[in-house]
Amino acid sequence: MLSVHTSPLHQPGTGDAGGMNVYIVELAKRLAALGIEVEIFTRATSAGLPPSVALAPGVLVRHVTAGPYEGLAKEDLPAQLCAFTHGVTRAWAGHRAGHYDLLHSHYWLSGHVGRLAAERWGVPLVHTMHTMAKVKNASLARDDTPEPELRVRGETHVVRAADRLIANTDTEAAQLLRHYDADDGRIAVVHPGVDLERFRPDPSGVPAGRAVARRSLGLPQDAFVVLFAGRIQPLKAPDVLLHSVAGLLRERPWLRERILVPVVGGPSGSGPAEPEGLQKLAARLGIADVVLFRPPVAQDRLADWYRAASVLVMPSYSESFGLVAVEAQACGTPVIAAEVGGLPVAVRDGVSGVLVPGHDPVDYARALCRFADVPALSAEMGTAAARHARRFGWDTAAAATAEAYAAALRERHLHR
């Protein structure tokens, strides 16, 4: 596997680490359990990192030196792809012929390296886009920076070179066909998974998971907790949530006594939406007293935040799938999400949560009203949400991915 711009060892929710990190780690571990040995090549971001780290039995992370260790933005990484490719091919040269059977690249930067390495090694290339420039540019948040033409051209080359493209949803598959003229016969739709042992309503079999989680986090038991979890960037639209909360409190000022809005995540991406900017926005809107800014947390602690919430709000402008939404639902928490990308698959509208067309804060405030006015709705939808999330186990995702690998290998052998 190739993951150039973010390491699977990094904390999700910081920098460029997010759902893709979780995806790579969990998929690799489940593939290893199926007997597929996985080596993940990623860029070294510190001089003190060992050349390789065992992530799990059968999963090895290899650090490749490519450019300066620190201070290199994602936008600067294309200039380092030759160095990264050289590092990958050097590792290959140290093995017997045929050591690697297949390459799986993640995100377009890795895809560029993957297509060169796959051609040199004579192995199939499987690629997962995770996000697409043309899709993001078609639905930019205000003040966000468009993806550059370099990325669009790079993605086009990767789509043409890949033996298999793994799309998260049917919607993403359709976007590959529409925007990149992909070969329909080379696309496999595989829903990402969720760790159903870690993300569940009642950890360790303890009843009343929400009450336990709130005690653990120091939150009032009777609070109406509206959670945002994820990287703080315009794409994720945390400002839409703050505006909707301000509108809700104008309509129902008595809610101020019991509403809490935790924002759990770190800055990422382009645009001005860093924590300081959001804090200033909360102050301007007059809701600074109800918004709690918290840094990114480890997965087990994140599960506590999910369980503690009355509802999770995900007003993103673009999501290839929306792992956060599925994780929250697996913990028994309903989700209010934008009706974009893969979120209509991740969230079952009217059953496990509410889908909102567009990004008007008024619409999100209206959805929040439903949960604020009828407290029992959170528990009712939460039960359905946990049931819905059980469809998305990582074991299922890994098995389907292994099938895509096998198909790519069969076609490559037939071609030979």
Annotated binding site for UDP-N-acetyl-alpha-D-glucosamine: 11-12, 19, 231, 236, 297, 319, 327
**Pairwise CA distance, residues 182 & 165, whole Å:** 9
**Pairwise CA distance, residues 415 & 260, whole Å:** 59
| Cβ contact 404:37 at 8 Å | no
User: 90 vs 6, 87, 106, 192, 319, CA distance in Å?
Assistant: 21, 5, 20, 31, 35
**Pairwise CA distance, residues 129 & 10, whole Å:** 20
Q: Which residues are annotated as a binding site?
A: 5, 11-12, 16-21, 74, 107, 131, 151, 231, 236, 297, 306-307, 309, 319, 327, 333
Q: Give the list of residues 6+ apart from residue 16 with CB closer than 8 angstroms, or none.
A: 5, 6, 74, 268, 269
Quick one: which H or E segment has residue 64? strand 59-64
| Cβ contact 323:194 at 8 Å | yes
Three-class secondary structure of residue 115 per DSSP:
helix
CA angle 114, 119, 120 (to 5 degrees): 100
For residue 54, count CB atoms less than 10 angstroms from its CB and return exposed for 0-12, middle for 13-18, buried for 19 or more: exposed
- The DSSP line for 262-293 is EEE--B-SSSS-SHHHHHHHHHHHT-TTTEEE
**Pairwise CA distance, residues 222 & 293, whole Å:** 20
Q: Which residues are annotated as a binding site for 1D-myo-inositol 3-phosphate?
A: 5, 16-21, 74, 107, 131, 151
Q: Which residues are annotated as a binding site for Mg(2+)?
A: 306-307, 309, 333
